[in-house]
Amino acid sequence: MSKSITIDGNTVPFEEGQTIMEAATAAGVYIPHLCHHPEFTPHGSCKLCNVKVNGRVCSACTFPAMEGQEVLNNTQELTDDRKLITQMLFVEGNHFCPSCEKTGNCQLQAVAYHLNMLDNHFPLFYPARKVDASHAEVMIDHNRCIFCTLCVRASQQIDGKDVFAISGRGLNKHLLVNAQSGLLKDTDIEATDQAAHICPTGAILIKHTAYQVPIGERIYDHKQIDQVSLDSENPQHGQ
């Protein structure tokens, strides 16, 4: 008999070596996340995927599934905390959805809708951050970076480059690009790189494509992020 855990009381099978997130996704259970992506080494920093495992808070994306785990995921308490964490990400940077070209395709925005976030709740920090539009095809709007490190991991693990890094301590965290000038144009990034497409927010964008897909026809305009996430991260889902 295969091994299993329970998530919100439902039995979920897992294979040795799988994380709770992987087991959940394979079973069609959505656990909200932003810094996790199935193709890359888990990072465990956004903390949206925090679940309760036998009473203890763990990040589902990094914590291994083990026999006997009773996992709580979709509870009011966790949803409330996830909403607060998402609100923290919003007030930390400068996120103005109506004027952002990523709107409708943005995972941060979609998670916020999914968690029924209706305001910022916390006071805004309004940090002074820059835009790097130096590169011909790819641009960075640092205002929207949430330090998920997906671009860092994609560049290293898929593109075989080292274009990005996260630097600084505490609230001074920031995204670095690997060029002496500190500008994207002096790196070896290309518009076809995975790192240029992986950003869950509007921080890294491909130029000249902004409104090719009109608002109203974008990924999250008609589907919730849980459905999109399960469809894309678990190919078997819905079959």
The angle at the Cα of 165, spanning 163 to 168, to the nearest 5 degrees, equals 150
**What's the min distance (Å) between Cβ of 105 and other proteins?**
22
162 binds other proteins (CB under 8 A): yes
70-72 vs 50-53, strand pairing mode? antiparallel
Instruction: Tell which one of 169, 212, 214, 216 touches other proteins (CB under 8 A).
Output: 169
Number of residues lying near other proteins (CB under 8 A): 39
CA 133, 139, 145, 150 torsion-angle sign:
negative
Site track 185-214 with other proteins (rule: CB under 8 A), x = hit: ------------------------------
147 binds other proteins (CB under 8 A): yes
Site track 52-81 with other proteins (rule: CB under 8 A), x = hit: -----x-x--xxx----------------x
Q: Give me the phi and psi of 174, to 5 degrees please.
A: -160, 160
177 binds other proteins (CB under 8 A): yes
Q: CB-wise, 83 or 102, nearer to other proteins?
A: 83
167 binds other proteins (CB under 8 A): yes
CB burial readout 64-80, b (16+ within 10 A) else e = ebeeebebbbeeeebee
166 binds other proteins (CB under 8 A): yes
Place of tokens 């959505």: 30
Q: Which stretch binds other proteins (CB under 8 A): 40-48, 97-105, 196-204, 208-216?
A: 40-48
3-7 vs 70-72, strand pairing mode? parallel
Binding to other proteins in span 127-146, by CB under 8 A:
146
Instruction: Tell which one of 6, 10, 39, 125 touches other proteins (CB under 8 A).
Output: 125
Residue 106's contacts (CB-CB under 8 Å, 6 or more residues apart) are 97, 100, 200, 201, 202, 220
> 79 by DSSP, 3-state: which?
helix
* Alpha-carbon gap, residue 159 to 161, rounded angstroms: 5
Site residues for other proteins per CB under 8 A: 42, 44-48, 50, 57, 59, 62-64, 81, 84-85, 88-89, 91-92, 122-123, 125, 146-147, 162, 164-173, 176-178, 180
